[in-house]
Amino acid sequence: MRDITHFIDGAAVAGTSGRFSEIFNPNTGEVAARVALASLGEVNAAVASAVRAQQTWALVNPQRRARVMFDFKRLVELNMNGLAEMLSSEHGKVVADSKGDIQRGLEVIEFACGIPHALKGEYTEGAGPGIDVYSMRQPLGVAAGITPFNFPAMIPMWMFGIAIAVGNTFILKPSEKDPSVPIRLAELMMEAGAPKGVLNVIQGDKVAVDAILDHPDIKAVSFVGSSDIAHYVYSHGTAAGKRVQAMGGAKNHGIVMADADIDQAVKDISGAAFGSAGERCMALPVVVPVGEKTAEIFREKMLAEIETLKVGVSTDAAAQYGPVVTAAHRRKIADYIQLGVDEGAELLVDGRGFQLQGFEKGFFIGPSMFDHVKPAMRTYQEEIFGPVLQMVRAETFEEAVALPSQHQYGNGVAIFTRNGRAAREFAAQVQVGMVGINVPIPVPVAYHSFGGWKRSAFGDANQHGMEGVRFYTKVKTITARWPEGAVEDSAFVIPTMG
Ligand code: NAD
């Protein structure tokens, strides 16, 4: 069986813990490989390598660091097909989606190619008599990233793309469910000219995460995953004196106003709810039609749309989505569907019985749809993370805005309308971090920044864009004068410029 290793100090390292986790092919349900789970020893070795590398990497000028990013981007593009197939074979998403996963990560690398501009400091000439003040952004040292299974290329690149470009070295702890692509990205980073130790990959579980949170030489931790773990990482990391950003789960709503282009909204919401089997933190699993008539029209059209969906193996170019990541996750989704029925929601389409001929052991689940879901139901309050669309009916615009605003999660939200004033009011009022107006998956472009509100994100800094640059750097402000002639008396009171 294939063993997936760590990547420390520029080389594959098998690890000594004797602990492994199985990697499945979600299409067939077979075990395809096993991944080594780190012990403290591997984490310490990776940090030691990163500390060594950082001392020289921070002195490489920003333009040269940007060139490494440029070469990395080119290498990833050259390897796109192989990487996408590798990603699909462990995650289960269709190959076109895997390419999207890699491409959205590369857009952050493109931003990182312009890092000299982003790192320019500020300067005030003559802040006082003969006194100039300027500021600079310096790297933190060693940073770490802990990532979820659902975007094994994009989310690591969100993090290490910026962290490394600004002069840090990085330790990536990817999900133990699909760890092959992150290792390949680290190899390509070395091929692109990053010195060994600049990007290390530690495979593992809670043991590795705790070792990262406790290690005094790691100065910042970026986390993306489910909310309970995000909160754990945020509270432990900050208690250990680290800078932490921790993104959590989501339950994104799509508000459909009576004046919306309903056919377009149905297409958009179908893609956002069922694409990638609903395993996206920016999926749209809740639809809120405003008014009974809108609800009835939407329901009828969405049921027809679901009929057309094709679920297939991840290599099937005609399939809209593939299997979910593990059998355990499939069970969890099926349990939520049962809970929805028990709670009294109306199950219009039940995906639990779906089987793909020839792939009966694969982790497939068909699309499901509920109507008459109520805010008090657990299936509404919690994240299902599967291909399940829940319809919550609202009578008025105010009621519709209140639903996502009062939900425990606040990652993304979308409104479908032809009314610019309603859309503007919605964007201003809604208590959610990322808003789409007739855009179902409003993932911000790389030079803006990504981040939710409430239990969807702990900490203040968003991912990538200038927020990412700020997260991975610290500001130093210098006040300078070059006195001439006689020695001046120094005052013992707080100096002022006036
Ligand atoms: P997860 O929380 O199970 O795992 C995330 C990371 O935490 C993994 O690297 C995992 O190894 C580690 N981990 C798991 N259990 C741990 C524990 N007990 N202690 C310490 N570390 C632990 O999440 P997942 O299932 O891989 O990913 C899906 C979740 O991620 C969903 O909730 C989804 O909404 C969320 N997500 C959020 C965003 C965002 O930006 N807000 C983006 C993508 C995914």
Looking up residue 88, the CATH number of its domain turns out to be 3.40.605.10
| 109 and 225 both lie in a single domain | yes
- Rounded to whole angstroms, the Cα distance separating 20 from 33 reads 10
CA 402 – ligand 1 centroid, Å: 27
| 237 and 266 both lie in a single domain | no
CA 253 – ligand 1 centroid, Å: 21
Looking up residue 362, the CATH number of its domain turns out to be 3.40.309.10
Q: Is the minimum distance from the CB of 225 to ligand 1 under 6 angstroms?
A: yes
| 244 and 259 both lie in a single domain | no
Collapse the DSSP code of 155 into the 3-class scheme (helix H, G, I; strand E, B; otherwise coil) and give the result.
helix
Sheet (strand 253-256) strand order? 346-349, 368-371, 388-391, 286-289, 253-256, 412-416, 434-437
Range of the domain at 167: 2-248+456-478
> Residue 451: inside a domain, yes or no?
no
Q: In the chain, how many domains are there?
A: 2
User: What local confidence, expressed as pLDDT, does residue 486 receive?
Assistant: 72
| 63 and 170 both lie in a single domain | yes
In which region does residue 439 sit, left (phi positive, over 0), alpha (psi from -120 to 50) or beta (all else)?
beta
User: What local confidence, expressed as pLDDT, does residue 498 receive?
Assistant: 66
What is the best residue among 149, 336, 382 to mutate for testing ligand 1's pocket, by most ligand atoms within 8 Å of CB? 149
* Cα dist from 102 to 47, 96, 127, 187, 279, whole Å: 26, 10, 46, 15, 16
CA-325 nearest atom, ligand 1: 25
Would you give the distance in Å from CA 252 to the centre of its chain?
Answer: 15
Residue 113: active-site member: no
Asked if residues 432 and 415 have their Cβ atoms less than 8 Å apart, the reply is no
> Residue 243: inside a domain, yes or no?
yes
| 210 and 147 both lie in a single domain | yes
| 32 and 171 both lie in a single domain | yes
Residue of the CA atom closest to atom 20 of ligand 1: 206
Q: Is the minimum distance from the CB of 409 to ligand 1 under 6 angstroms?
A: no
| 131 and 159 both lie in a single domain | yes
| 209 and 352 both lie in a single domain | no
The amino acid at 60:
V
From start to end of 64-217, where are the E strands? 123-128, 131-139, 142-146, 169-173, 199-201
Q: Is the minimum distance from the CB of 411 to ligand 1 under 6 angstroms?
A: yes
User: What local confidence, expressed as pLDDT, does residue 305 receive?
Assistant: 98
Segments of the chain with pLDDT less than 50: none
CA 302 – ligand 1 centroid, Å: 30
- Rounded to whole angstroms, the Cα distance separating 97 from 90 reads 13
| 242 and 328 both lie in a single domain | no
| 79 and 194 both lie in a single domain | yes
Q: Is the minimum distance from the CB of 281 to ligand 1 under 6 angstroms?
A: yes
- Rounded to whole angstroms, the Cα distance separating 181 from 83 reads 6
> Residue 483: inside a domain, yes or no?
no
User: What local confidence, expressed as pLDDT, does residue 248 receive?
Assistant: 98
CA torsion 392-398-401-406 (nearest 10°) is -80
| 197 and 52 both lie in a single domain | yes
Q: Which of 281, 306, 334, 388 is catalytic?
A: 281
What is the best residue among 172, 224, 332 to mutate for testing ligand 1's pocket, by most ligand atoms within 8 Å of CB? 224
Q: Is the minimum distance from the CB of 230 to ligand 1 under 6 angstroms?
A: no
